[in-house]
Amino acid sequence: MTKRYFIWTVGCQMNEADSERIERDLAGQGLSPAETAESADLIVLNTCSVRAAAEERTYGKLGELRDLKRRRPDLIVAVGGCMVGADHSALARRAPHVDLFFRPQQHQTLIGRVAGTAGGVPARLDLDVELGGTGDGCVDDSIALSARIGRPARFLNVMSGCNRACTYCIVPLRRGRETSRPTSDLAEDARRLVAEGAREVTLLGQIVDRYGRDLPDRPDLATLFEALSSIEGLQRIRFLTSHPADMPERVIDAVARLPKVMPHFNIPVQSGDDAMLRRMRRGYTVERYRRLIDRVRSVVPDATIATDVIVGMCGETEAEFGNTLRLIEDVRFDVVHVAMYSPRPETRAAAWNDDVPPDVKRARLHAVEEVQERISTQINHGYLGRIEPVLVEGTRRGRWEGRTQGNKLVFFDDPRPLVGEIVPVQITRTGAWSLQGEVPRAVTPERHRFAIV
């Protein structure tokens, strides 16, 4: 009987892309996807430690799996991702029912065990067993990764790790130093994704602008854009995340020059106050950030810009927070992802006094959300009546769902099968978080030149 796996992913798109690779490798070992965790032989938790809330979700899931494992001792539980550091003994003590831990980007440890090639397969990891019944302890709240294969918009990790050391951030401690993948490997991966039905690929890196600096031939993100632009069938290339101190002019120019590279930038500012930026060790000033945004907008006039903001980090005063609000008002981002600071173990800031009370953090978060909702509403209103090329990614509540070149979410109705098509949609309604529209008569979508799985 074919053994089945179930993958539960928390966190960022990089984790999602890692999970896709795990899935592909498990499929290569002859395993097939399970519909639910209860019906799986192998459950993989791909974890995130960027915020305390993400870790709590994993601990909750591990608690559910403890019950399931009690009923099904043959079940294999593997935990990977950013919660697994060099020393994961505390995690192992808290979750003794986990069979295997593997660090980010080291999922071959898992695949090796499954394949029985990592120095012998311990009995507990022997997957060649008959299944027992299903339990009811695990709620299926994961993304069914197998459903992602064949989707028009896919992720591709081009590098991992980060050489910076922002004082609040645990990523460098868990994902290590920057390691880029060779351009030729990435082009091969992108071709495979296109063969599976992808029309858009998002290139992912912790600081994606630094792609290639560690490779012998020192390619950069712009040369990677060029290499991928030549792939037939690949219509759109996106990239994230950028760092304000690392974004070269060549990348901005390449976005303007290469039609397949979408004019959307994700440039986290984190704070609008210089003293706070110094405490965060971000490596730029507010003025430098503003100049970068001006440069992006002058070279790529239709650019949409998203940012990340942390509120309530150690010692953040009302005046410092006010500077962040002012920056948001001035820059008028398309999207602001805002998070409350939570100390992460082993980071530099973890030793500092987490002195902004939780209700103040929450109030600041809501203040950012309010300001940004107003700005996003105003910006999106400007799309009314425009015709936007939308890549249709799927359906939600019976309507087509897709994204514009600038990454705006669009919903519309149309009787035709449109997944994977780029459809001109006239915008008829706008809101803070999405647009709605209709396909003008006498306009047909571009035909898909390859199979949609």
Q: Which residues bind ligand SF4 (CB under 6 A)?
A: 162, 164-166, 169, 171-172, 206-207, 243
> Which is nearer to ligand SF4, 142 or 180 (by Cβ)?
180
Is the peptide bond preceding residue 241 cis, with omega within 30 degrees of 0? Answer: yes
Q: How far is the CB of 250 from ligand SF4 (least distance, A)?
A: 20
φ, ψ of residue 149 to 5 degrees: the values are -65, 125
Gap between the Cα atoms of 282 and 360, Å rounded: 23
Tokens of 417: 């099968």
φ, ψ of residue 156 to 5 degrees: the values are -140, 115
> Which is nearer to ligand SF4, 242 or 405 (by Cβ)?
242
HSE value, Cβ hemisphere, 13 Å, CA-based, for 42: 28
In 3-state terms, what secondary structure has residue 203?
strand
> Which is nearer to ligand SF4, 72 or 243 (by Cβ)?
243
Gap between the Cα atoms of 36 and 137, Å rounded: 11
SS3 content of the chain, % helix, strand, coil (to 5): 35, 20, 45
Torsion of CA 15, 17, 20, 25, to 10 degrees: -90
Q: How far is the CB of 167 from ligand SF4 (least distance, A)?
A: 9
Q: How far is the CB of 373 from ligand SF4 (least distance, A)?
A: 25
- Identify any residues that bridge with 304 across adjacent strands, giving them in sequence order: 264
> Which is nearer to ligand SF4, 49 or 146 (by Cβ)?
49
In 3-state terms, what secondary structure has residue 101?
strand
> Which is nearer to ligand SF4, 227 or 339 (by Cβ)?
339
> Which is nearer to ligand SF4, 267 or 427 (by Cβ)?
267
Gap between the Cα atoms of 18 and 156, Å rounded: 9
Tokens of 215: 């490779």
Cα→Cα distances 44→50, 102, 143, Å: 19, 10, 12
> With contact defined as beta carbons under 8 Å apart, do 156 and 187 qualify?
no
In this structure, the strands spanning 335-340 and 435-438 are unpaired
Q: How far is the CB of 183 from ligand SF4 (least distance, A)?
A: 22
Q: How far is the CB of 12 from ligand SF4 (least distance, A)?
A: 10
> Which is nearer to ligand SF4, 150 or 248 (by Cβ)?
248
Q: How far is the CB of 206 from ligand SF4 (least distance, A)?
A: 4
Cα distance between the two ends of the chain: 25
Q: How far is the CB of 307 from ligand SF4 (least distance, A)?
A: 13
- At 415, the amino acid letter reads P
> Which is nearer to ligand SF4, 69 or 344 (by Cβ)?
344
φ, ψ of residue 329 to 5 degrees: the values are -60, -45
Q: How far is the CB of 279 from ligand SF4 (least distance, A)?
A: 13
Q: How far is the CB of 402 from ligand SF4 (least distance, A)?
A: 29
> Which is nearer to ligand SF4, 164 or 191 (by Cβ)?
164
